[in-house]
Amino acid sequence: MTAAIPIQLISGRKATRLTHKIIIIALLAFGFGSIIPMFWGAHAHAQVVDPCLQGLPTPTPQQPAVHRVLQLINCSNQVVLGAANAAGKAGVVPLKSVFPREKTWVMQPYPPSTPNGNILTIDVPPKWESTIGPGSTGPRIWARTGCRYDIASDRAQCETGGCGGKYDCSAAKLGASVGTTVAEWTFYEQVTAGNITYFKDSPDISAVDGVNLNMDIQPVGGHSVDPFDALGGHDIQWLAQNYPLTKHGQDMRSDARCLEKFRLQRSDLTSGIYAFVIVGNDGKPLGGDGTVACFSNCARYAFPDVPAADCDSSDHNTRCYRWKSFCLNEYPVGSVFGVKCTQDSDCKQGTSCWNNPGSKLDHTCQGRAFIKNATCPSNICTFPYGYIDPTNGQQFFSTQPPFGHCSDIVGDNPKGCIGDDVVHHVMHKAYTWPNDPQVYGGDAQLYRIIFAPGGTTVPITPAGAIPVCSDLPTIYGYSTQYGGPGSNSKPCDVPVNIDKATFAVAHPSPTGASPWACNLSPGGAGNEGVICRWATP
């Protein structure tokens, strides 16, 4: 029997929203945007022509207490499962779960076989509003690919986005696995300046855990520009003027974008901690190998499990050093972050001595992005250090520290760093490192979270039902584990015949040397093998 273990996301907002021990750049780069407006010039709003987004319904709140509605849209050519966590303000117990209006998490491929079958609708509950400050758990939305699932038993085993073997992640209060693109939110936060008050939403797209599907967030309604424009300025991060946040029709999983070492392959999910991809009798993934996700720098060194927080990072060539550098792992206060400095050489773990005039963080060591190329254009790596407002020519040094380079962390090994600039070529306004200044503002009543906008030609493993154990390839050795209704000599006979087990976790075992978990408990994750059911439903 296996127990479900909540999967810890690296999360684009881990440092900025959940950590109060370290002073980090996001507090200045965008955290103040929820209190004092940033009077920055706005980007031009690009027009997007995407057949998947044409003629969509525009749902509105169904209850007076509901202020925001989310519309999840699957533009890929395969069935995917939508997912959300459970969220709430600090001290809220239990956290609030959600369930789509459609009474399902299944999203049909585009074009759908039934009208709007690729769309899910979520009414944002009041308990999801204003989830700010230490101890709060903000809402997160994502998609799961390559799933085998059974709704009635609340089971799902997915190649990406999995949440401890559960079909309904929100009800289970679990998060996504590493390698998953996540939309993160703060909803309906009251903001006042002068005689202007409005309720601000702050979404972002996090690729810090990696990318399983490209994602975009589109506001529908609300102000086209920041309401504080009336006071004489522009918020450069106003969502309506920044949409689209990613390049539609592109996919980070493609060979042209994702470096080989950073590809999460189906074959990587056939042994060890994650062994749920079914293998054929040749020991290779059934249906072929392929890239299911592209890791970021941070995620690459957090997979398959996160290093210990106290791991030895003294050797620059270790996984520990790279994980701490790319993920901005917490350290004792004052040991790495926030240390006073005059130059980069005064700082540890690849951090930057941030020349940030007028800020409390001026000339302190802070985390930063690492790029592969010598420079990164501001239309690719948006809001860089020294950003120049195209509206008024004003220059800013508070968005983020200057970029580091991959070679600062991995030396002369180019395969050890994908480069934040490489990920930004596809997802130019998404988080790629924990303090990337990519949180946007809006006040729309409806937001569309779009999975695989523009579609993708990179294969996605088809979804399907949880297999019957006897139907697995012979390499799994079904007959070595179960002898049938009248037998009591095989390992799984009693659990199935007497205990009435419904599900098992199967391991390749043609000789019975690798025993199955014969009776998967209701709370079991089953990630270490293939979940199968003993009888046809």
Q: Which domains does the chain have, with CATH numbers?
A: 14-42+65-254+439-451 (2.60.110.10), 467-533 (no CATH)
One-letter identity of residue 119 = I
Contact by Cβ (8 Å): 29, 399: yes
pLDDT of the residue at 235: 84
User: In residues, how long is the chain?
Assistant: 537
Question: Which residues partner with 442 through β-bridges?
Answer: 201
What DSSP line would sit under 391-455, residue for residue? TT--EES-S-PPPEEHHHHHTT-GGG---HHHHHTTSTTSBSSTT-S---BB--SEEEEEESTT-
Written in H, E and C, the secondary structure of 193-209 is ECCEEEEEECCEEECCC
Cα angle 289, 298, 397; round to 5:
135
Between CA 381 and CA 376 the distance in angstroms is 6
pLDDT of the residue at 38: 30
Q: Which of 161, 76, 143 is nearest to 106 (CA)?
A: 143
In terms of Cβ atoms closer than 10 Å to its own Cβ (0-12, 13-18, 19+), residue 331 is middle
pLDDT of the residue at 392: 72
What pLDDT digit, counting tens, does each position of 291-306 carry?
Answer: 999 999 999 999 999 9
Q: Which two tokens stand for residue 361?
A: 């963080």
What DSSP line would sit under 288-339, residue for residue? ---EEEE--HHHHTTSSSPPPTT----STTSHHHHHHHHHT---STTSSTT-
Cα angle 372, 204, 525; round to 5:
90
Written in H, E and C, the secondary structure of 476-504 is HCHHHHCCCCCCCCCCCHHHHHCCCCCEE
pLDDT of the residue at 24: 29
Q: Which of 204, 215, 156 is nearest to 180 (CA)?
A: 215
Q: Which residues of the chain have pLDDT under 50?
A: 1-45
Cα angle 177, 526, 146; round to 5:
55
In terms of Cβ atoms closer than 10 Å to its own Cβ (0-12, 13-18, 19+), residue 330 is middle
Strand, helix or coil at 182?
Answer: strand
Q: Which two tokens stand for residue 468?
A: 């019957």
pLDDT of the residue at 500: 96
Written in H, E and C, the secondary structure of 368-393 is CCEECCCCCCCCCCCCCCCEECCCCC
Q: Which of 194, 164, 186 is nearest to 83 (CA)?
A: 164
pTM over 0.85: yes
Contact by Cβ (8 Å): 443, 198: yes
pLDDT of the residue at 34: 29
Contact by Cβ (8 Å): 400, 384: yes
Q: Which of 300, 318, 305 is nearest to 263 (CA)?
A: 300
In terms of Cβ atoms closer than 10 Å to its own Cβ (0-12, 13-18, 19+), residue 256 is exposed
> What's the number of CA atoms in the CB half-sphere (13 Å) around residue 59?
23
pLDDT of the residue at 46: 56
Which phi and psi angles does 492 have, rounded to 5°?
-100, 5
Contact by Cβ (8 Å): 193, 233: no
Q: β-strands 404-405, 370-371: how paired?
A: parallel
Sign for the CA dihedral angle at 301, 324, 215, 456 comes to: negative
Contact by Cβ (8 Å): 39, 110: no
Between CA 62 and CA 149 the distance in angstroms is 30
What pLDDT digit, counting tens, does each position of 469-520 carry?
Answer: 999 999 999 999 999 998 999 999 999 999 999 999 999 998 888 899 999 9
Q: Which residue has the tokens 């130059």?
A: 343
Q: Which of 245, 273, 90 is nearest to 177 (CA)?
A: 273
